[in-house]
Structure 1
Amino acid sequence: MSNATRSAAIPPRTIQPPQSISAEAQAALSRLVDEDGSPINARYGMPSPEDVSGWMAMKAAADAHYAAAIKGMAGSLQSTAETITIDGATIHVATPHGAFDAGGALIDLHGGGLVFGGGEACRVSALCQAQQHAVRCYGVDYRMPPEHPYPAALDDCLATYRHVLNAHAPEKVIILGRSAGGNLASAMLLRARDQGLPMPGRLVLLSPQVDLTESGDSFQTNQMVDLVLPRPLRSNNLLYAGGANLSDPYLSPLFGDLRGFPPTFLQTGTRDLFLSNTVRMHRALRKAGVETELHVFEAMPHGGFMGGTPEDQELESEIRQFVGRGR
C-alpha cells in the first residue's frame, strides 16, 4: 500500500448565495461578482515584494478608495478624536460623547493585509469603536511597508500598549484586531508577555491573519470562494516580513506559546479565506488553557458582509456582549 498523499480534484462549479442567510447578505455577496460570476476583487493582483513603486501606487489607490468609502462618516459619529505620537507611534485617541467608561480603554488595530488601511480609515475606525463600546479608543496608525517593514508595525503597537497601561489598569484594557490587526494584536501580546508586561482584560480577533505561511486548508478550499479576499496574500506577507522568517511567532503568532493570554473572542465565516487561521487559533488557545469563544457565520466572507446586514449586526452585538463582560 502506498503512503503517498493524494489531492482532491474538484470540478468547476458555480456557487450561489445560499438561502440560509439573510436577503441582505445574499445581495451583498451578489454585488461582489461580475456578470460572468468572477469575483470583482480578483481583478487586482498584488505586486511582487521587490516592486516598491508598484506597492506605493497600490497604496495610493487603496487610500483613495478608503477615503471615498468613509467620506462624511466621521461627522455623523458621536465621538471625537485627537492624534498623538508616542515613541514614534501615531495614535488616534477617540473619546465618545456623553457618558463612557473612563477607566476602560480599547486598542483598535486595523486590517489591510499589513500594507493598507491607515490614515483617515484608521481614525474613523477608532471613532466608530469609541462610540460602539462607550470607551476611550486608541486607534494605532501603525507604520507599514514598503517604507517600514517588520518590526515597525509591531513596535508601534507595543508602544501604544505601554502608553495605555500608564493610564489604565490592564484588566480594563481591550485589544481588538481585524485581519492584519489580529496578527499584530496577537504578536504584540506575545512580545508584551516576553517583556514582562501584564496581559489585558480581553482580546477580540476578527478573522485574524495569524499564519503568514498560509498553511491552513482554507487557503485552498476558499480561494476564489471568498469574494472579499479571493486570493492568498503571499506577496503582502513577504513584503511585510522584510526577509524575516514567516513562521517566527512574532510574524505568525499561531505558532507561538499562547499560555497566559486573556479571554479571547474569535470570528470568521464559512467562506472566509482565513477560516483555517481562525479555527486553528481557537484550538491553539484552547490547548494553552485560554478561555475562548469561536463564532463562525454562515457564508460570511473575509471581513463580514459589510453593509449593515442582520449577520453583521449580530456579530457587533456579540462583540459588545463579550467586551462588556470584561468590565
Structure 2
Amino acid sequence: MNDRKPGVAIPERIIPFPASISVEARAALERLVGDDGSPLNAAFVMPEPDDHEGWLRVKAAVDRQYAEAVKGLAGQLRSTVETIRIEAATIHVATPAATFNDDRAYIDFHGGALVFGGGEACRAGARMQADQHGVKCYGVDYRTPPEHPYPAALDDALSAYQYVLERHRPEDIVIGGRSAGGNLAVAVLLRARDAGLPFPAGLVLLSPQLDLTESGDSFETNRLVDLVLPGSLMQSNLLYTAGADLSQPGVSPLFGDLTGFPPTFLQSGTRDLFLSNTVRMHRALRRKGVTAELHVFEAMPHGGFGGAAPEDIELQDEINRFVRLR
C-alpha cells in the first residue's frame, strides 16, 4: 500500500540569493542565515497553545525586543502622539507635524502573530504612519492572548473603527494592516458591515495573515525559504482562537464575503510565507469586482528587507501613492 502524500519530491539543495535584487536586499537576507545557510529564526520555538505561562514569558521577551528596536526611531519621528482608551481598546492617536489633509485618517493595525507587537512598538508605528502619510493615524493597540483571546482583538478593532467614523467621513479613512494586522483590517470590515457601518475609502494589506488554517501553497513552498518567518504559526493561531473554528471568517477573513469591499492594495514577496494569503485574497477580491492592486517583490521575505533596501523604499512610495488617491 502506497501511503505517500501526493506532491512533488524535491532533492536537498541550496537555494541561492538571486542576483536580480539590490545589493542592500541581498545583504539583508545574508544577515538572516548562519554559516551553514540555516535560517537563524528557525531556532525560535513557540510554546504549546495551552502553556499560558510559557506564552507570557515569550510575549514579555518579544515585546522588550520590539520596544528596544523602536528606541532608535525617537529622534526621527516628527509626529506627536496621545494614547486614549475607548471601551476596552487602547488607541495611539498620532498627529503629523505637517498635515497633508486635516480631514483624512489612517487606521493602523500592527503585526505580531496576533500575540506580539503592542505597547511601545504600536505607539511608534502610529507615529511612523502619521509621518509617512501626513494624516492623523490611529494605531490600534488591540488586546492579545493568552490574557485576551479571540474575539477581544476584533472587538477592539470595531470600537476603534466606530470611534474614527465619529470623527472622519468614511470616504476620508484608509485602513491598513501588516501581517496579523492585515487579518484584523479585513475582519473588522466584515464585522462593520454586519453592524451596518460604512466601508472606508481604501484598504492596505501588507503580507496579511488572512488564513489561520494555513492551507495555502506557500506555507509549504516557502517554508524555511522565508528567513523572517521560516515556519508555521499554528501554535500562536491556536492560542489566539482558543478553540474557535480556524476557518470562520472572523478568524480567517480570506473566507468571508468580500462583496462591496473598498479598493485594496496588497503586497507580498516571492519568498514570503504568506504569499498564498496575499494572492488568494487578490483573486477573491477580483471575483467580487473589487478594485485591487497586487504588488509582489522579488525574493522579498515576510515584512520586507528591513526598510533600507531600494525595494522597501519603492514599496513605501507605492503605498503613499495609493493612500493619497483615496
Number of the residue aligned with 1:307: 307
CA distance in 1, matches of 2:5, 2:113: 32
Give the conservation status (yes or no) of the 8 Å contact 2:96–2:135.
yes
- Measured in 1, the distance between the counterparts of 2:99 and 2:147 equals 40
Tell me which residue corresponds to 2:264: 264
Partner of 2:7: 7
Match of 1:248 in 2: 248
Contact 1:28–1:307, Cα closer than 8 Å, also in 2: no
Q: Report the CA distance between 1:67 and its aligned residue.
A: 1.4
- Which position in structure 2 is the counterpart of 1:53? 53
Structure-2 residue corresponding to 1:40: 40
Q: Deviations over 1:14-36 (max 9, x none)?
A: 11110000000000000001111
Q: Deviations over 1:47-102 (max 9, x none)?
A: 11001111011101101111121113123211010000001100000000023311
Partner of 2:196: 196
| Distance in 1, Cα, partners of 2:64 & 2:163 | 31
Counterpart CA distance in 1 for 2:70 and 2:185 is: 24
Unpaired runs of at least 5, structure 1? none
1:82 partner SS: strand
Q: Which residue of 1 aligns with 2:107?
A: 107
Q: Which residue is equivalent to 1:231?
A: 231
Q: Is contact 2:83–2:93 with CA below 8 Å preserved after alignment? A: yes
Q: TM-score, normalised by structure 2?
A: 0.98
Residue equivalent to 1:138? 138
CA–CA distance in 1 between the matches of 2:5 and 2:16? 31
Q: What whole-Å deviation, never above 9, does each CA across 1:117-171 have from its counterpart, x for those lacking one?
A: 0000000000000000000000000000000000000000100000000000001
Separation in 1, partners of 2:249, 2:82: 33
Separation in 1 of the partners of 2:107 and 2:244? 26
How many Å separate the matches in 1 of 2:236 and 2:166?
34
In the alignment, which residue of structure 2 is the partner of 1:73? 73
Residue in 1 aligned with 2:155? Answer: 155
Aligned equivalents of 1:14 and 1:182: distance in 2? 32
CA contact (8 A) 2:110 2:181 kept: yes
The separation in 1 between residues aligned to 2:98 and 2:7, in whole angstroms, is 58
Matches of 1:194 and 1:316, distance apart in 2: 32
SS in 1 for 2:106: strand
CA deviation after TM superposition for structure 1 residue 5, in Å: 7.3
Moved over 2 A (4+): none
Does the CA-based 8 Å contact 1:177-1:184 persist in structure 2?
yes
Q: Which letter does structure 2 place at the counterpart of 1:88?
A: A
Tell me, yes or no, if the aligned pair for 2:91 and 2:160 is still in contact at 8 Å: yes
CA contact (8 A) 2:307 2:313 kept: no
Whichever residue aligns with residue 87 of structure 1, its letter is: E
AA matched with 1:147: E
Shift of 1:106: 0.3
Q: TM-score, normalised by structure 1?
A: 0.97
What is the CA–CA distance in structure 2 between the aligned matches of 1:264 and 1:76, rounded to whole Å? 29
My pick for the range that moved more, 154-163 or 73-82, is 73-82
Amino acid at match of 2:202: R
What SS is found at the alignment partner of 1:189? helix
Alignment of 1:213-232 (within 5 A): 213-232=213-232
- Runs of at least 5 residues in structure 2 that lack an aligned partner in the other structure: none
In structure 2, distance between residues paired with 1:153 and 1:291: 27
Q: How do 1:262-301 residues align onto structure 2 when only pairs under 5 Å count?
A: 262-301=262-301
In the TM superposition, residue 243 of structure 1 has moved relative to its aligned partner by: 0.7
